Structures are given as structure tokens and as C-alpha cells.
Amino acid sequence: MPFPSSATPRPVARRPVEVRFLAGTRQQFFLDELPAILRHPAVLLYFAGSILACFGVSVLLDRPTAVPYILLFPVLAFANVTGMLSFALWVNVKSWVLRGDEPIRIFLTLPLIVCILIVQSVTLLSWNLVLEVPTAPLKTSLLVVTLIYVLDELLLHFIVRPRTAQIVADVRSFTGAAPRLAEAEAPPPQGAMLQAGNLRLPAASVLHMQAQGNYVVIHSDSGTHQVPGPFSALVAQLPDGLGALVHRSEWVASRAVTSARRERRSTLLGLSTGQTVRVAATRTGPMRDWLASLTDPPRRRPYSTGGGEAKRQSRPLDDVSTTSAKGDTAPSSPKAPDSPSNT
């Protein structure tokens, strides 16, 4: 996925939404992300569970024996889609009423009750008009709504709530709908230096840093260097705005990123050094925010299509030999599992 050119206009400000669950958990996203969130597999699983709950409770209490039970499912599916659209309408109407830049705060219980009432009304009305199922007494209908509400709250608590952060991260990873940075990061100081053991480098020359056990491999404009850690101490020396920590053992400069692509559920970054770095799953959302701010990353001359460099690119990152400024190669130390001291 190539990055957009610098001529791409920056998007307008996006309205944040904050949803609060009955258990107290809160999750923020942006209003334009709502359609994709409602189509997420975890949310669709909740709707499927809600349809089954409606079917079970309605059949148990209403006892619609006039038609085969299989004919009730299309009506229930249509009613639940109506309920889903009513929730989206609730959020959009509230954003229109509460104008401004403040987040749209939604306490999920109230719109959930309204959606269930709409779903149950559409269900009973359709059953009566289309399938000629006798209308249930009011007391029975209220009991059905109460039971469905309790079951829906349980489904939201156990299916959706634990996955809210991952749902938003997935939406931003697959659609590229991450928010732009609120403010442009300040350019790094020109004279900032990175001190690593006996090595002293201009911070702006660093392209990529990778923790390998007790050592850190630094790829810079002047070559590749292996220095003692800890990794976190070296990252702390780099000025803000120079790059980002894409993994707890990988730091990447903004100017080194040439491409980004999806591979299953992972995000892979192509670097000007010829390497490929995998973004940690826990950092997918923030990294999309960072990648969205890169409007015109530098394009470096690609490596040759044959010979040692091409073969070196084709090997995994852990097997790549480190190269000094003069071109000499030395095998890199084997990568040890990440430890707390490296983060």
C-alpha cells in the first residue's frame, strides 16, 4: 500500500463518540467508523445471538403455532437490522443535536432498550400481518422485552465489551480509517545526538533500531551498528516526532517507512533499508494514527535485483547480517526473546 502524495488534502476534523457499557467500560471511536464497527464479526456475532434470544423467548412466551417456526427467522433478521439502523440513527441524531467538538457520549443501556422495543414491535407486527400469528397480550410482550434486554446485556458484556479496543483497532487496520494527528509533531532538534556505548550518532540519521537480547542493532545513514542496551534507554534519547515504537523491540524512523501492507491480521512496514517490520497487534491502532500522518515519505533507490543484497533482503529479519559503513559484514547475534529490560 503506497502512501498518498503530499498533494492529498488532509481530512476535516472528525467527531469522536464515547460509548459506555453497563459494566462501566468506555470505548471511543469516530462517528464515520460506526458503519464499519457495526459490520465487525464480533458485533455481528452479538446480533446473531440477539436474534436467537428473540426467537427463543418469543416462541416460549408467544407460542406462535400458526406457522412453521422456520418462517419466523426472516422476520426476526429484518427486525434486528431495523434495530441496528435505529441505533446508528440515534448516534447521528445526537451528534446533530449536540454540535461542537466534544465527544458524543452514549450510555448504551437507553438506546439498547429503544432498539429492543423497535425490534419487538416490528417482529410482532410482521408476524401478525405477514404470517397471521395472533398478537400476544401486552403483559406477555413486556415480559418478552424484559427478558430480551437481560439477554442482550449479557451478550454485550461477554461478547462485545471485552473486544471493544480490538474491534476499533481492526476497523482502523482494515479500512485505514485512523484519525489524523490532532497537531503536527514538532520537528526534531537538528543537533540531537544518540549516545550508545562508544558510538555517537546524529539522532536524525537513525533509520531503525531493533532489540536483540542485551544488544541493540542500529541502522543509520552511516551503516549498521550493534551496541549494548538497554533498548528503552536508547529510544528515550530520540526526539519526539522522529519516528515511532512499532513493537516493544522495534523503533522505526518516519522517513524510513516506504510502504505498509496487510498480511492476514498483521500490518507490515517496508523500510528504505530493505527490511520488513511487523507492527505489534497491541499498537495497530496508534500506528495507523502515525502512518496516516506520513503524507510524503522519502523514496530511496531500491536495491539491485540480483546478488548479495537481494538475497539478504529475502532472508528473515533475524537472519540478516549487519553491515558496517565500509561494507564489511558480521553475523548478528541471535535474537533473544524480548525481556522487560529491553522495553
Lookup: cell for 63: 407460542
Q: Which residues pair with 30 in a beta bridge?
A: 16
In this predicted structure, the answer to whether residue 106 has a pLDDT above a threshold of 80 is yes
CATH superfamily of domain region 193-342: LytTr DNA-binding domain (2.40.50.1020)
**71-75: average pLDDT:** 82
Q: Left (φ > 0), alpha (ψ -120 to 50) or beta: where does 104 sit? A: beta
**237-259: average pLDDT:** 86
Q: Determine the Cα angle at 90 with ends 87 and 94, to 5°.
A: 150
In this predicted structure, the answer to whether residue 149 has a pLDDT above a threshold of 60 is yes
**40-65: average pLDDT:** 83
Q: For all residues of the chain together, what is the average pLDDT?
A: 74
Instruction: Find cell 437490522 and name the residue.
Output: 81
Look up the pTM and report it.
0.51
Q: Distance between CA atoms of 92 and 178, rounded to whole angstroms?
A: 19
Instruction: Find cell 526534531 and name the residue.
Output: 188
In this predicted structure, the answer to whether residue 276 has a pLDDT above a threshold of 50 is yes
pLDDT for the residue numbered 320: 35
CA atoms within 13 A on the CB side of 118: 19
pLDDT for the residue numbered 226: 86
pLDDT for the residue numbered 299: 41
Over the stretch 280-297, which tens digit does the pLDDT of each residue have?
Answer: 877 777 777 777 777 444
**H helix or E strand, kind and range, residue 34:** helix 34-38
Q: Distance between CA atoms of 280 and 290, rounded to whole angstroms?
A: 14
- The residue ranges of DSSP E strands in 156-229, in sequence order, are 193-196, 199-202, 206-212, 215-220, 223-228
DSSP code, position 65: T
pLDDT for the residue numbered 107: 92
pLDDT for the residue numbered 189: 52
pLDDT for the residue numbered 118: 92
Residues whose CB is less than 8 angstroms from the CB of residue 54 and which lie 6 or more positions away in sequence, other chains included: 76, 79, 80, 119, 120, 123, 148
What separation in angstroms does the CA of 78 have from each of 67, 73, 132, 185, 323? 18, 9, 17, 47, 62
Tell me whether residue 201 is exposed, middle or buried, using C-beta atoms within 10 angstroms of its C-beta: 0 to 12, 13 to 18, 19 or more: buried
Q: Distance between CA atoms of 255 and 241, rounded to whole angstroms?
A: 11
Over the stretch 203-244, which tens digit does the pLDDT of each residue have?
Answer: 888 899 988 888 888 888 888 888 887 888 888 888 877 888
Over the stretch 127-144, which tens digit does the pLDDT of each residue have?
Answer: 888 877 777 788 888 888
Contact by Cβ (8 Å): 61, 143: yes
In this predicted structure, the answer to whether residue 90 has a pLDDT above a threshold of 70 is yes
* Of residues 70, 120, 118, 91, the one with CA closest to residue 19: 91
In this predicted structure, the answer to whether residue 41 has a pLDDT above a threshold of 50 is yes
* Of residues 271, 263, 274, 327, the one with CA closest to residue 303: 274
**274-281: average pLDDT:** 84
Q: Distance between CA atoms of 240 and 166, rounded to whole angstroms?
A: 26
Q: Which pairing describes strands 16-20 and 104-107: parallel, antiparallel, or unpaired?
A: parallel
In this predicted structure, the answer to whether residue 311 has a pLDDT above a threshold of 50 is no
Percent helix, strand and coil across the chain, each rounded to 5? 45, 20, 35
pLDDT for the residue numbered 256: 87
- Considering the chain, tell me which residue range(s) the CATH 2.40.50.1020 domain(s) occupy: 193-342
Instruction: Count other Cβ atoms within 10 Å, centred on residue 319.
Output: 12
Q: Determine the Cα angle at 18 with ends 12 and 23, to 5°.
A: 165
Lookup: cell for 143: 415480559
Name the more confident of 171 and 40: 40
The fraction of the chain above a pLDDT of 70, given in percent, is: 74
SS3 340: helix
